[in-house]
Amino acid sequence: MINFNDKKLLYRCSSKATPELLLKALGVKRNVEFASLGYKVLDLTAGLGQDAYVLARAGAVITMLERSNGVAKMLEEALKSLKENAEYSNLSLYLIHIDSKDYLQKLLQTQEASQFPDAIYIDPMFPEKKKTALSKKEMRILRDLVGADNDADALLPLALQVAKKRVVVKRPRLAPFLNNQKPQFSLTGQSSRFDVYVNIL
C-alpha cells in the first residue's frame, strides 16, 4: 500500500513544487547546504510516512515512530524497497516501531541531550472528516489500522520537553489547539493548519 515512488509524492519533493507549509513550519530548507547540517526531526505519528519522506528528501534526518503493528510493517517494507534504489539508498529516513509516549518518556529519563531532535512533528488521526492528500482508499485503510488518536493530547507536553527548537502540530484548519495549548504562531493552508511551538528549551 505504501509507495514512496508515487507520482504525486515525488512531485511534492521536486524543485517544481511550491515550497510546502510543512517544511516552513518545521524549519526545513530544501537545498544541498541544509542537507549537510544533520537537522533531526522526530515524527511521532508516522502513518503512511508521506510527510516524513518529503522532509527526508528535503535534507532532514527523519525518525518515524509508529505504534500500529500493521502500519509499521507496511512502512518497513516500503523503506526496504526504497533503500534498494541506489538513488535513495543514503536517504536519512528511519523507523522505530514503538508508542511515541513511551519513546519520549525514555528520552527524558536518559537525559541524553545528543539524542534529542531539533524538531518534533505531530499529525494525529482524528475521528472527524477532513481534506487530505491521501486518497479515500488510503485514508479508510489507515483509519481501520490506526483508529483515532484519542490520546494525542498527551504527546504535546512530552514533545515540548524534548524538542530543541520547535514542535509542529498539524490540525484541520478550524480544529481547536492540541491539548488546548496555544502555539506561538500558525501557518494555515486551505484545509489544514500547522501550529508551531518554538524555542522550547
20: in domain: no
Is position 23 within any domain? no
The mean per-residue pLDDT over the stretch 73-84 comes to: 92
Label residue 11 by pLDDT band (50, 70, 90).
confident
CATH label of the domain that carries residue 83: 3.40.50.150
> What is the domain count for the chain?
1
Three cell numbers written together for 51 = 510527510
Asked if pLDDT for residue 36 goes beyond 70, the answer is yes
Compute the C-alpha angle 98/52/73, nearest 5°. Answer: 45
**To the nearest 5 percent, what fractions of the chain are helix, strand and coil?**
40, 20, 40
Average pLDDT for residues 77-103, to the nearest whole number?
Answer: 91
Q: How far apart are CA 59 and CA 31, in angstroms?
A: 7
Within-domain flag for 68: yes
Which residues are CB-neighbours of 83 under 8 A, at least 6 positions away?
89, 91
**Could you list the residue range(s) of the whole structural domain that residue 110 is in?**
7-14+32-198
In a domain, 83, yes or no: yes
Decide if 103 is inside a domain.
yes
Q: Which three cell numbers stand for residue 34?
A: 541544509
pLDDT one-digit tens code per residue, 127-164: 544 445 555 555 555 555 555 557 889 999 999 999 99
In a domain, 176, yes or no: yes
Q: Decide if 146 is inside a domain.
A: yes
Q: What is the pTM of this model?
A: 0.87
